[in-house]
Structure 1
Amino acid sequence: MAVMQRQHLGIREIGESVNIPPNPVARAMFYLRCICNVLDLNDGSSNLQRFTDFKNFYLLTDNEIDALTLLISSVRPQDLIGKCLFHNEEICGNSNNKFFELQEMRQNMVIVNDILIAGQQRRVNRIMFFKTAWLELYCIAPLRFLGDRMIRRKAELDARNARLMYYHQTGSGSSCCTIL
């Protein structure tokens, strides 16, 4: 654990402004990209890169969107706030969030070196400050939408399977015919 003290000299902001499509899936992908930027989650896996490419959100299949939902559920903000994510409207200024290199950040806070994510130790590479609006727009609202989507998809699949089971049990789905 590193204890940092307040100094405004040597702070180097990193990151860039991006435009995120106004789509819950794209916004969830952006949230995951931010978390990958803060934590050492980039394992070189093309799947993770696919899940953070928010500009191409429309290329994800239904199963990939479900996997994205589960992945985001494993990096919940409530587990990261105060460790590598910090709420501070003032530091963010006109942006919804800002990233800083850890070794250059000087602030009155405790920053952990590693975080346990989905049963694995992950290194904290950077920290991110965010506004409440960022958290709502890119995490809470998209995750609510994606969770509801998964529930609807499961209900549709269950209903379809029930219909198939009914047709199979009653013989309604048989392909024989009666000739008179």
Structure 2
Amino acid sequence: MALLQRNEFGIKDIGQSVTVPDNDVAKLMYYLNCVCFSIDCNDDPNIRRLTNYSNWSSLSVDEQKQLLVLCYALSPDVFDNKVFFQSDALCQNSSNKFYEISQVRHQVLAVSSIMVAGRARQVNKIMTYKMSWMRLYYIEPMQGLARRLGGQERQRRRESSRCVIS
């Protein structure tokens, strides 16, 4: 485990400002991108496709379902106080920020690796966030996409169960 502290000199924000489209799919793709940036899991081309939030509109309905399932499996409770830390102070004027582990020693306790989908992943970065970020990029989009995909599934079942006599 690594011990991290805010007032260590050399603290450097390694993130960058991004613009995320105002769409539940794009927001969940951004959330997944943040997860993968923190635990370095963008080595799979299928994962990379699901983290490219600028191209959210190119995802098929099946890929949107995969995204929903993956985000559910990689929910914040898996990473909270291990890789993700709620800290308004460390976020400063942003809703989230990324830090290198070596650059924020002695503030919070971070694990050096985490098991994700049966594989150990090295934790090289942490992300701090405000609750407004978590609501905007995880909680509300998960609810919205699940509601939309569930509605499409109910509509498909209704249409397939109709009996047409000609």
TM-score (norm 2): 0.91
Matching of residues 13-28 of structure 1 within 5 Å: 13-28=13-28
Gaps of 5+ in 2: none
1:97-134 CA distances to partner (integer Å, 9 max, x unpaired)? 00001122213321111222233322212001001110
* Cα distance in structure 1, aligned partners of 2:14 and 2:29: 20
In structure 1, distance between residues paired with 2:160 and 2:118: 34
What CA RMSD, in Å, does the superposition of the two structures yield over aligned residues? 1.6
One-letter amino acid of the counterpart of residue 22, structure 2: P
Aligned-pair identity in percent equals 36
TM-score, with normalisation over the residues of structure 1?
0.85
Larger Rg: 1
2:29 is the alignment partner of 1:34: no
Structure 2 counterpart SS, 1:13 = coil
Q: Which runs of 4+ in 1 moved over 3 A?
A: 4-7
- 1:72 Cα offset (Å): 0.7
Provide the C-alpha distance between the structure 2 equivalents of 1:13 and 1:68, rounded to a whole number of angstroms. Answer: 28
Residues 2 and 105 of structure 2 are in contact (CA less than 8 Å); yes or no, is this contact kept in structure 1?
Answer: no
Instruction: Determine the C-alpha separation between the residues in 2 that align with 1:112 and 1:41.
Output: 16
8 Å Cα contact 2:32-2:51 kept in structure 1: yes
Q: Can you list the C-alpha shifts for 1:34-82, whole angstroms capped at 9, x where unaligned?
A: 1111012112x32212111111111111111111111111110012110
For residues 6-61 of structure 1, give each alpha carbon's deviation from its aligned partner in whole angstroms, at most 9, with x where no partner exists. Answer: 54212121011011111111111111111111012112x32212111111111111
Residue 58 of structure 1: aligned partner: 57
1:49 match: 48
Gaps of 5+ in 1: 174-180
Alignment partner, residue 146 of structure 1: 145
